[in-house]
A = this chain, B = another copy of it.
Amino acid sequence: MASLRFTTAGESHGPALVSVLEGMPAGVPVLAADIDTQLARRQQGYGRGRRMQIETDRIEFLSGVRAGETLGSPVAMLIRNTDWRNWHEIMDPAPREGDAEGPRKRHVTRVRPGHADLTGLLKYDRQDARDILERASARETTARVAAGALCRVLLREVGVAIGSHLVHLGGIDARRPYDMPADLNAAADASPLRTLDAEAEVQMIARIDAAKKEGNTLGGICEVVVTGLPVGLGSHVSWDRRLDGRLGQAMLSIPAVKGVEIGLGFETARRTGAEVHDEIEAAPGRTRAGHVRRASNRAGGTEGGMTTGEDLVIRVAMKPISTLMRPLGTVDVATGQAAQAVAERSDVTAVPAMGVIAEAMAAFVLADALLEKVGGDSLAEVQRNLEAYLARLDERVER
């Protein structure tokens, strides 16, 4: 039985999204505001279009939380689509009069390159790409952020913090500061692009404005940084227990993500071993790995498929949004004729938001791996077992 599982449901213009997180210990203190804060962070970002204004996402706990604490039972969160009133006719679960006479309004057959439209239509044997794109929409990630927010609360209670920042946008690199800010997200969220490099930010904004003018879109790269992780989450013993792989799946499952790397990542291919591996040394005080630490963290916090006790550093690359206002060539699947792809309302870039989604996915994988490691059905038990593990590390490594 998996420690933690999560399921999301919901179409972009349906009545609501649902996020269910199963396997949370009891006794974790959580308020709706803890979740809503993360949802709001997902809605940030220069270059977002109209929808981000329409929807101010808020969750309602339908289950699993009482008096501000988790109960150990599945936590279901409902996130209403406030736009639903305008889409009821189009997205109605029930058949409607007139359905027989032809497709509903806003049906889509001029499938968009880069999106799930065509692959989904063929796989699921549908006629209207709306049946696909409503689910393949980035809106689904709202429900992921909600589940991740809950995982984040659990991690917070054991001293783990997750942040991210944007390190590249549409050809422009942001410099990573020499020392990361103590509160990474406070710093990153202060920027409309969630970058720590104010100079690059100016150029990026200009880049976005230019892309918007030409009806184009932009991709970029975010870096997720996790602090406070104990050594030994994940495992080397079997391929599907390795934490790197599980993080990789989580990141590459985010819509439009095309690459992921941990620590130096692709750069390790260019260096020698002596320039890549992090020497091990005794630490003056207690670390998250007993009394040892690494002289550097080029590994980005994992070795042998396990956390090392150093910061976890993951970089995630996102392609430009697939819906261009200046549409690409395609085929109309209703006629088989060449056509211009449909141009649905769209942002220029979603990279700043993607960082928040990547944080959420990391939170899920890490909370799951933590519970695997220490077990526990209540927060107190999780903390007690983790503390005993850390104390044992002290004992065995300390001299």
- Taking a contact as CB atoms closer than 8 A, the residue among B244, B280, B330 that contacts A330 in the complex is B280
* Contact between chains at A392 and B397 (CB < 8 Å): no
Chain copies in the assembled complex: 4
Which chain B positions have C-beta within 8 A of A242? 252-253
Q: Is A160 an interface position by the 8 A CB rule?
A: no
- Taking a contact as CB atoms closer than 8 A, the residue among B31, B67, B71, B211 that contacts A124 in the complex is B71
Please measure, in the bound complex, the distance between the C-alpha atom of A231 and the C-alpha atom of B372, giving whole angstroms. Answer: 20
Within 8 A of B (CB), among A203-219: 211, 216-219
Which chain B positions have C-beta within 8 A of A396? 122, 125, 333
Which chain B positions have C-beta within 8 A of A94? 31-32, 67-68
Which chain B positions have C-beta within 8 A of A76? 9-10, 18
Which chain B positions have C-beta within 8 A of A289? 118-119, 122
Within 8 A of B (CB), among A107-147: 111-120, 122-126, 131-132, 134-136, 144
Give the A interface residue count (CB, 8 A). 180
Q: Is A48 an interface position by the 8 A CB rule?
A: no
Distance (whole angstroms) from the CB of A392 to the closest CB of chain B: 7
- Chain B, Cβ-Cβ closest to A111: B280
Distance (whole angstroms) from the CB of A55 to the closest CB of chain B: 16
- Chain B, Cβ-Cβ closest to A244: B252
Distance (whole angstroms) from the CB of A266 to the closest CB of chain B: 4
Which chain B positions have C-beta within 8 A of A259? 259-262, 265-266, 268-269
Which chain B positions have C-beta within 8 A of A369? 1
Q: Is A56 an interface position by the 8 A CB rule?
A: no
* Contact between chains at B377 and A375 (CB < 8 Å): no
Please measure, in the bound complex, the distance between the C-alpha atom of A119 and the C-alpha atom of B244, giving whole angstroms. Answer: 14
Within 8 A of B (CB), among A8-50: 8-11, 14-18, 20, 22, 25-27, 31-32
* Contact between chains at A124 and B378 (CB < 8 Å): yes
Q: Is A192 an interface position by the 8 A CB rule?
A: no
